[in-house]
């Protein structure tokens, strides 16, 4: 795909290919891995504004980063403008120059709380949130969907409102809330919003290859693309999209395991890296037998030994 730098506020990304915020997965080691393979920007997992306000240890752990990772964006969610501004000003968010407001999460619990995609139905509140967060001094971006369902698509009007409220970039998932992650991506809705605003627009949805990314860019006129689930199956998709050299899958896995051990306790390492290894072997010969043995592994060393067997054979 056509690579170009993107300017967000006073920050310039090296390219226009970014990693989506994925709850349960885009932790520090995974983001660092994707960044090394060429991603121009990575987002943290979705972080609760209320969780930060009330000092939730688990919430704060989601915001771990260091100089080795480099530029990263934090994503927060909630529906109270003052709480979200306080989240932007929280000490744990200090290392992140860019804060993204989630207005697209389709998970029922989030939606029923009036958060995530529920904000698509209350554009006035969404505007208040962005305006208040901008006061924090952070570069504010917004990720949202094209609507709750196909009978009421709000993309263009919502995009204009977010730009007017002070957002510096928009990421638009080209599906409605009720589609979750299935169904066709609505290119025309993203294209319409892109034409209606002056700030950069990132298109999200259905990118599993370089051809998918090229089509999404061509059909929408977007400034860049966001990669989500495809990165879970192969973080080196960013190599394909950006021309970054690839490496052996075992070397990739070993690196991720090492970085995860550096920042997480052993139990988390075991559970998380078993999940990642299961993603990475999808479609491989012997994957079923490997996964059966994998989920019996109880230590990082056992997991690494199994990974070495399947990827070095």
pLDDT one-digit tens code per residue, 155-207: 999 999 999 999 999 999 999 998 888 889 999 999 999 999 999 999 999 99
Q: Are residues 26 and 165 in the same domain?
A: yes
* Residue count (the chain): 313
Q: Are residues 125 and 182 in the same domain?
A: yes
- Would you place residue 256 in the very low, low, confident or very high pLDDT band (cuts 50, 70, 90)? very high
Return d(Cα 253, Cα 117) in angstroms, integer.
Answer: 34
Output the pLDDT for position 181: 84
CATH number at residue 148: 3.20.20.70
**What is the distance of C-alpha 297 from the center of its chain?**
29
Q: What are phi and psi for residue 76, nearest 5 degrees?
A: -120, 160
3-state secondary structure 185-218: CCHHHHHHHHHHCCCCEEEECCCCCHHHHHHHHH
Q: Are residues 73 and 194 in the same domain?
A: yes
**171 in a structural domain:** yes
- Would you place residue 283 in the very low, low, confident or very high pLDDT band (cuts 50, 70, 90)? confident
Return d(Cα 226, Cα 208) in angstroms, integer.
Answer: 10
Question: What are the tens digits of pLDDT across the range 212-235?
Answer: 999 999 999 999 999 999 999 999
Q: Which of 6, 23, 47 is nearest to 223 (CA)?
A: 6
> CB 40: neighbour CB atoms within 10 A?
22
> Is 312's pLDDT higher than 80?
no
Query: Following CA atoms 131, 136, 142, 148 in sequence, which dihedral angle do they give, to the nearest 10 degrees?
Result: -60
| Last residue in a domain, options 224, 242, 260 | 242
In the set 105, 133, 239, 264, the catalytic residue is 105
> Residues 232, 45, 92, CA angle at the centre, nearest 5°?
145
Q: Are residues 81 and 163 in the same domain?
A: yes
Q: Which of 195, 102, 188, 115 is nearest to 150 (CA)?
A: 188
> Is 259's pLDDT higher than 60?
yes
Q: Which of 238, 189, 174 is nearest to 16 (CA)?
A: 238
Q: Are residues 151 and 261 in the same domain?
A: no
The helix (H) or strand (E) run that includes residue 41 is strand 41-48
Total domains present in the chain? 2
> Is 245's pLDDT higher than 60?
yes
Contact 225, 203 (CB under 8 A): yes
> Between 287-294 and 300-312, two packed helices, what is the crossing angle to 10 degrees?
170
Q: What are phi and psi for residue 65, nearest 5 degrees?
A: -155, 170
Output the pLDDT for position 313: 56
**40 in a structural domain:** yes
Report strand pairing: 11-13 vs 6-8. antiparallel
Identity of the highest mean pLDDT range in 52-56, 212-216, 309-313: 212-216
Q: Is 239 a catalytic residue?
A: no
Least confident range from 134-138, 147-151, 168-172, 209-213: namely 147-151
Which residue range forms the structural domain that includes residue 302? 249-312
> What average pLDDT score do residues 45-59 get?
91
Return d(Cα 171, Cα 157) in angstroms, integer.
Answer: 14
Q: Are residues 257 and 126 in the same domain?
A: no
Q: How many CA atoms lie within 13 A of 104 on its CB side?
A: 30
Number of DSSP helices (H) and strands (E) in the chain, helices first: 15, 10
**1 in a structural domain:** no
- Would you place residue 1 in the very low, low, confident or very high pLDDT band (cuts 50, 70, 90)? confident
């Amino acid at each position: 795909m056509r690579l170009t730098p993107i300017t967000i506020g006073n920050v310039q990304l090296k390219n226009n290919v970014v990693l989506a915020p994925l709850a349960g997965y885009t932790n520090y080691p995974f983001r660092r891995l994707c960044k090394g393979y060429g991603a121009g920007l990575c987002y943290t997992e979705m972080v609760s504004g209320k969780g930060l306000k009330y000092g939730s240890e688990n919430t704060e752990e989601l915001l771990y980063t260091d100089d080795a990772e480099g530029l990263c964006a934090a994503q927060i969610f909630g529906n109270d403008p003052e709480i979200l501004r306080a989240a932007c000003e929280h000490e744990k968010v200090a290392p992140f120059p860019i804060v993204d407001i989630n207005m697209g999460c389709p998970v029922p619990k989030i939606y029923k709380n009036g958060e995530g995609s529920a904000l698509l139905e209350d554009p006035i509140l969404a505007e208040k949130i962005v305006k208040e967060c901008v006061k924090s001094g952070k570069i504010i971006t917004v990720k949202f969907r094209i609507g709750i369902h196909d009978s009421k698509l709000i993309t263009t009007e919502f995009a204009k409102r977010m730009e007017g409220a002070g957002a510096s970039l928009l990421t638009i998932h080209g599906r409605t809330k009720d589609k979750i992650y299935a169904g066709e991506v609505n290119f025309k809705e993203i294209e319409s919003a892109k034409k209606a605003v002056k700030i950069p627009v990132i298109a999200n949805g259905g990118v599993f290859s370089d051809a998918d990314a090229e089509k999404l860019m061509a059909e929408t006129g977007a400034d860049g693309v966001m990669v989500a689930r495809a990165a879970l199956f192969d973080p080196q998709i960013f190599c394909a999209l950006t021309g970054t050299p690839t490496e052996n899958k075992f070397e990739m896995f070993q690196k991720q395991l090492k970085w995860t051990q550096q920042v997480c306790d052993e139990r988390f390492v075991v559970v998380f890296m078993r999940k990642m290894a299961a993603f990475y072997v999808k479609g491989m010969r012997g994957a079923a037998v490997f996964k059966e043995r994998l989920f019996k592994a109880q230590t990082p060393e056992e997991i690494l030994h199994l990974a070495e067997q399947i990827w070095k054979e």
